[in-house]
Structures are given as C-alpha cells and as structure tokens.
A and B are shown apart, each in its own frame.
Chain A
C-alpha cells in the first residue's frame, strides 16, 4: 500500500495505536477499487460488501422517489469514509445507490475483515461509537436545516461549509441534496454570494 493511503487510513481511524506489525496487517486488509465517472459503486437492492475510505473523487448516496427521481442524501469525497452503512452492517439489500460522480479511487475493506478488525482491536469500538455518533449528529443537523431554513439560507450554509471538489459536481445533485429544484439552485448560484 502507498504510504499516502496508509496515512489516509490512519487519519480516519485516528486514536488507534497500532504496533509496526499490526499496522502492516491492517494495511493489507484494504484493497483499492476504481470507478469510472457515473459508475455505480453500490446498487439499490444489492447488499453493501465494503466499508470505504475515499482516496479520490466525489460520490453521491441517493434513493429513488416514487417517480424514479434521485433524492440525494449525502456525498463522500477525498479523505472521508463512504459506503451504504446500514446495508453493510445488517447485510440486507440496500435502499440506496452509491454512485461515483467523478472518477473515483476508494480503499475498501470487506465486512468479514472489518468485523475481524473489531475483534482484534477492541479499542475500535470506541472509534465506532464516535464515528456513528458523528453521522447521527450530522443527519440531525441536516434535518434541522431542511426544516427551518429557507432555500437561500440552505444554499449559503451549504456552500460555506462544503469542500471545493463538491462545488463542481452536476448542479442537480447539489440541488436535490438541498431539497430544491435545479432551477432554484442555478438562480441562487447566479445571484447569491456566500
């Protein structure tokens, strides 16, 4: 594994003190997977097989509404974890798609290896606690924003905090994430500074 990829993993799994040997076997559990632009990483109706850490690219997680329109729930990008976590944990068919919006390179660990890691390093349970706590708080924060802010306020709040690489993905994905029409997003982008 490239040194930069190992550093990336260590930054995600921060707080875990591996010995030199443990670090080596930890690194061996991860495989690099590549996806073309628009490639489906996980399909709705299939079971998520991997927990990912993103090396490069932007991915969207979305589900389909009754009309078949994509409803974007979130994004992952360089340095962040990715995957369909509920399907990964429960090994049940996913309700969501995970799609590479840009050519993507991801580090993947299988479920068996992931669970084995937790058995071997019990301190990972604390990491898991913080990881899923942050996800929960993130979802709650987003719910509050969706319920209480105007479209313009949602746009400004999002653009202020989102990384640059997310600003160049197709507008319809950002618009869907912010629960507005692409036309509204386009108008705000042209008229509102942040």
Chain B
C-alpha cells in the first residue's frame, strides 16, 4: 500500500466540502430526508445522526490530545500514517462514488431514531448537532496546525486495538464522513 501523508490543509478543505454538501441537504424537503431505500437501510437523517455519534466518541480524546501536544512555531504538521491505521483509514475512504465494502455497524454507533418522531423540528436539531460536531472537528484540526504531533496516541472508538495520533483520527473521521455522504447520495438516488 502506498504511503499516506496527511496534512491539516487537505483535511480542512475536505471537511469544508462535507459541510457544504450537508448544507445543501438541509434544504431538501423532510419527506426526502426521512425516506429510506428499504426497511433495513437508514434514511438521510439517520446517517447524519450516525456521523454525529461517531464523532462524539472522539470528541474528548481529541481535546485531550490537543492539550497534551506541545506548541509549534514552525510550519503546520505533515504526518505519515502508520500501516495498520492507514489500512483502517483506506477501508473507510470511498473510491470515487463507491463504498469499497459494506461494514456492519456496531450497536453503539446506530442512530436509533424513531421514524415517527422525525418532525421538522427533529430534523433541524439533527442538522444543528451535526454542524456543531463537525465544526468542532474542524476547529480542532485548525488548532492542531500550531501544535507538534507528539502526544500520546489514544484508543480509537473500536478500542485500544487501534490507537490514533491526531492526524490519523482526523483522517479516519473525514473518510468515514465521506463514505457516508456517498451512502446519502445512494439513498437520494433511490428515491427517483
């Protein structure tokens, strides 16, 4: 597998692209946001809620790692992802408009929304929570540009078997969000 060099600028640009796409989704009528392709699949709001849950499992870990990282007066970091972490990141990253392979979602990552409670207000709240979470992620990446990536790696959301440095965690979360945006495109395409 080729080397994967991560930079905060690349991540910020992609995260902005994700945020812009979700802003467009927010303008869709509610019936499109709550309609799933089939009973086993999620609808758009469930996907966004899943993304919020995924981020919430890293929120504190990222904050602690930033506090534990020494400041840097030099240019922003450039980080070579380690092999095992790179493998997991690449497993998330969509290949063009395709998700490389389906991954069974663990129970604690499931959105568990009640379809009947998905009102306009609930939808607004899901979008708002998503934007709060991913703006916070962006703020963390921006803050990390003034830091050296010399903190203690932290356990990923699936446990200590995978430990991340901040650039790896950022990349994992962004690839995960990009993957689910592809899923959202598939959900919306199925409605035509």
A residues engaging B (CB < 8 A)?
36-38, 40, 43-46, 64, 67-68, 70, 93, 97, 170, 172
* Whole-angstrom CA separation of A177 from B16 in the bound complex: 25
> Are A97 and B9 in contact, CB atoms less than 8 angstroms apart?
yes
Report the minimum CB–CB distance from A117 to chain B (whole Å).
28
Interface centre among B5, B6, B9 (most CB of A within 10 A): B9
A37-B73, A64-B10, A97-B13 known; 15 new pairs, CB 8 Å cut-off, are: A38-B76, A40-B142, A44-B13, A45-B12, A45-B13, A45-B15, A45-B17, A64-B7, A64-B13, A67-B5, A68-B6, A68-B10, A93-B17, A97-B9, A172-B75
Contacts of B142 in A (CB 8 A): 40
Q: Residues 132-158 of chain B: 1 if any A CB is under 8 Å from the residue's CB, otherwise 0? A: 000000000010011000000000000
Closest to B73 in A: A37
Contacts of A64 in B (CB 8 A): 7, 9-10, 13
Report the minimum CB–CB distance from A73 to chain B (whole Å).
14
B20 an interface residue at 8 Å Cβ cutoff? yes
> Are B10 and A45 in contact, CB atoms less than 8 angstroms apart?
no
* Whole-angstrom CA separation of A36 from B20 in the bound complex: 26
Do most interface residues of chain A lie in helix, strand or loop, or is the interface mixed? loop
Q: How large is the interface on B (under 10, 10 to 19, 20 to 34, 35 or more residues)?
A: 10 to 19
> Are A68 and B145 in contact, CB atoms less than 8 angstroms apart?
no
Q: Can you list 10 A-B contacts (CB < 8 A)?
A: A36-B146, A38-B146, A45-B15, A45-B17, A64-B10, A67-B5, A68-B9, A70-B9, A93-B20, A172-B75
* Whole-angstrom CA separation of A37 from B10 in the bound complex: 19
Closest to B16 in A: A45
Closest to A44 in B: B13
Closest to A170 in B: B75
Residue in A36, A38, A46, A70 whose CB lies within 8 Å of B16: A46
Residue in B6, B16, B19 whose CB lies within 8 Å of A44: B16
* Whole-angstrom CA separation of A70 from B75 in the bound complex: 12
* Whole-angstrom CA separation of A6 from B132 in the bound complex: 38
